[in-house]
Each structure stands twice: as C-alpha cells, then as structure tokens.
Structure 1
Amino acid sequence: MLVDHWPLLGLRVTTARLELRLPTEAELAALADVAARGVHPPDQRPFLVPWTEGTPAERSRILIQKHWRRRGAWTPQSWVLDLVVFVDGRPVGVQEMHGQDFAVRREVGTGSWLGLAYQGRGIGTEMRAAALHLAFAGLGAAHATTASFADNPAPLAVSRRLGYRPDGISRDVRDGQVLVSQRLRLTRADWERVGRPLVPVTVTGLEPCRDMFGVDGFRTDSDVRPE
C-alpha cells in the first residue's frame, strides 16, 4: 500500500469536531473547489497569496499544484505539511506546518486558510491548536512561530488566545508596496500553560513518520498514540 512507502498518509490529528490529515486525490479536488469559492472577501487582501486573482479554475489548479509540489520536495531537513481540515468528512481549509532543519532548531512555523463559508465558527483556533499539539507533544518542538498582517485581527486573536508573544515584525512586498507583518512566537512553556489546555487533541499514526520529520529518537508526550 502507498501508506507503507509514504507514512504521512496515515497521520491523523483530531479534536472533538475536526480531523486534520493529508487528502486523497478526490478530497484534494473538493478542497480546490472550496478555495475557488473564496477564502476572504474580494475587497480585502489579508494574505500575501493572491487568492482573489485569476479565475476560480486557475486558483483551483494553483492549489493542487502547490500541494503536489510540497509533497515531492519533502526532505527531513526541509518540509511543509499541508494538513487538510475536515469537518463532518468535508474539507474546509488547510492548516500548514513547516520546518527547516527541525532536528537542530526544534522550531516550526504555521500558516492556514479557511473557506469563507466556514469562518467565524472557532475552527481557526481549533485547527491551529491541533497543529501545535502535533508539534510540541508529538515532535518535541521547542518553539512555534507565525506571522499576520498588522491589520488582520482574526489570526492575531487566535495567536494571542493560544499563548503566543510578539516577536518583532517582517516587511514584505505585495503589488509594489511594503506591508508590515506582526511576527509571533510560542514557547513550549507558554503552550503548556496557555495553549494546550484549550483544545483536547489526539494524534495517531505518527511513529512511522518520525524519521521523515528528522526527529527519530526525540522524547514525546505519552498522549500521542501510535497506530
């Protein structure tokens, strides 16, 4: 079976109402349909990614190519895990987690998006909490980082609720203009104190994947269950 050769296909991160995992090809197509319908109002631009540019078909194709490209480029030294978020078996968005030289740095970064129809329900907080549990309890991370535009309050509120602290700014260019993002950092101690108690999370199928993250041999929490 393919999962024997690519064990990430068996990784599951679950909360009371969400399941985060890699999608099947049919589910990836359904996710592309969600993205094509919009992830933010057309008069806003809360991401560097140009979600409102191009036709719905073009946006769908870009998302699928990005997913395939990241899978194909995966190494233990540089990886991006695009966990699709499912509610009642339907894909609603993506919770990304990435690592660079994770075995040494013990640090992950996160990013995410949700279809417009699924926003405002607390899903954003729950899916980030799930990814953080995988990072800290499952992979033995010491830090997690994220960044949001200074005028994009929703993800900043999620970060504050989960225990992140300000970590400076970054300056990016979009359409010929400089945009300022607020960087945020979550330490393991702050996650244990603030973020972890918010959402109960279960991780299964991690053990066969550990060498793919470059963490074989790291101590992890006992509530991360292997298959």
Structure 2
Amino acid sequence: MEPHVWPLYGLRITTPRLELRLPDLDTLSDLAAVAAAGVHDEDEMPFSVPWTDGTPGERGRSTFQHLLGTVAAWTPGAWTLSLAVRSEGEVVGRQDVGANDFAVTREAVTGSWLGQTYQGRGIGTEMRAAVLHLAFEGLGARYVTSAAMTDNARSLRVSEKLGYHPDGLEVLSVRGEARTFRRLRLDRAGWEAHRTVPVELHGLEPTLALFGL
C-alpha cells in the first residue's frame, strides 16, 4: 500500500533493536505465522479476550482479520494503531496503541503480544517504550493506560519499569471465569522520568489528521 493512500503505512518507529510499522500483506502474513506458533503456554490465558484459544490456523487467521479490521474501522475519533514489530529484520510480535476522542482526552491505551520464541529478551519493554514515545512525544498525550491480570508478572514488570502506577482493579469474565485485572496509568512526568530507550519517529507529520490532530 502506498503511503499517499493511507499515510499510516509511511509511519515507522525505530529503537536500537526494533522497527514498528503498520504491516503490509506480506508482513501481516508473517505476523499471523508468529501468532500461530504460540504466544503463551496453553494452560494460561493472559488476555481479557481469549483470542489465542483454538488451533494454530485459527490464531493466524484471527490475527490477520483483526489487524485488517483496525484499518477498516479507523476514524479520527476512534482508532487503534496495530504495529508489527521487527527485531533484526524478523517479525516477532505486535504492539497496539489506541484511543477514543484523543484530541479531547489526550489519553491512549496500549496492548501487545510477543511470540513465545522471542520472550525473555527485553523486547516487550522496548516495543512498549516505542509507542509511549509516539503517544507522548509525537501525539501530545497526557496519559497512557494499560492493564494486566494480577498474576501476569511479566507484563506488570514491564509497566513498572516504564513508570506506570496502579489505577485500580477490574474483574472480567474470561473463559467463563472471573479474573482480576490491574489497571495501570502513566502520565507525562512518569514517562519522562523513566525514559531509557532511544526512540525515533519517521513519517509522523502526514498522519496527524488521522489521529484527530
């Protein structure tokens, strides 16, 4: 897809090890393959929506369809930017940032997943730091929120390292069982105090109207 048709295809975020960008169809196929190969142990469910249940083929198709849906449903008042993450040229996972009425609230929310093969290398922290830079430095956010199950120690550690503070608890039904999520909130001062990853934004200016700015 040419960026002049959908400028978000020209947006890139880079860190020392990673590149994040909206995937074209070939990259999206690679991302689906990473999801199909596995994101977590089968006896776990770290997500509020259990999209990883099912066969590898179903996980791959779900990834493919959902990401295309975020592009189709995009409006300046309600958007989700779903970025494929590459490490050393290899697709390793997905990092999302989204918002409703961002121009008014200046608040965004993040979510992500990483292929099991690539976990434990600090990639999750680095890719979250990348979209936090986009939100705060690029788009002028005041707050960014996240959430994780109270027993999801890895995700909670990432949030802690990046400066998030607890923002209450929420109980949701997951696989027909009550699960408790810890909400997390990061303000600009907290982000600035915990910045350790160098991040560069490329091609942001042509996309600003799509974010409602």
1:210 is aligned to: 208
1:70 aligns with 2:70: yes
**The residue matched to 1:86 in structure 2 has which SS?**
strand
1:165 aligns with 2:165: yes
**The residue matched to 2:50 in structure 1 has which SS?**
coil
- Contact conserved, 1:85 with 1:95, CA < 8 A, in 2? yes
Work out the percentage of aligned pairs sharing the same amino acid.
55
1:27 is aligned to: 27
- Contact conserved, 2:85 with 2:127, CA < 8 A, in 1? yes
Give the gaps of 5 or more residues in structure 2: none
Separation (CA, whole Å) in 2 of partners of 1:9 and 1:214 = 17
Separation (CA, whole Å) in 2 of partners of 1:52 and 1:183 = 22
How far has the Cα of 1:52 moved from its partner? Answer: 4.2
2:86 is aligned to: 86
Separation (CA, whole Å) in 2 of partners of 1:175 and 1:134 = 33
The Cα offsets for residues 40-61 of structure 1, whole Å up to 9 and x where unpaired, read as: 0112111123244221111111
Give the gaps of 5 or more residues in structure 1: 216-227
1:221 is aligned to: none
Separation (CA, whole Å) in 1 of partners of 2:178 and 2:81 = 28
1:180 is aligned to: 180
How far has the Cα of 1:174 moved from its partner? Answer: 1.1
Which residue identity is paired with 1:97? V
TM-score (norm 2): 0.97
Comparing 131-140 with 176-185, greater Cα deviation is found at: 176-185
Change (3 A) 1:51 1:38: farther
Show the 5 A alignment for 1:108-147. Answer: 108-147=108-147
Separation (CA, whole Å) in 2 of partners of 1:44 and 1:175 = 11
Separation (CA, whole Å) in 1 of partners of 2:9 and 2:106 = 23
The Cα offsets for residues 119-178 of structure 1, whole Å up to 9 and x where unpaired, read as: 000000000000000000000000000000000000100000000001001111112211
- Contact conserved, 1:39 with 1:51, CA < 8 A, in 2? no
**The residue matched to 1:140 in structure 2 has which SS?**
coil
Separation (CA, whole Å) in 1 of partners of 2:53 and 2:184 = 28
**The residue matched to 1:183 in structure 2 has which SS?**
strand
Q: CA RMSD in A?
A: 1.0
Alignment length, in residue pairs? 213
1:55 is aligned to: 55
TM-score (norm 1): 0.92
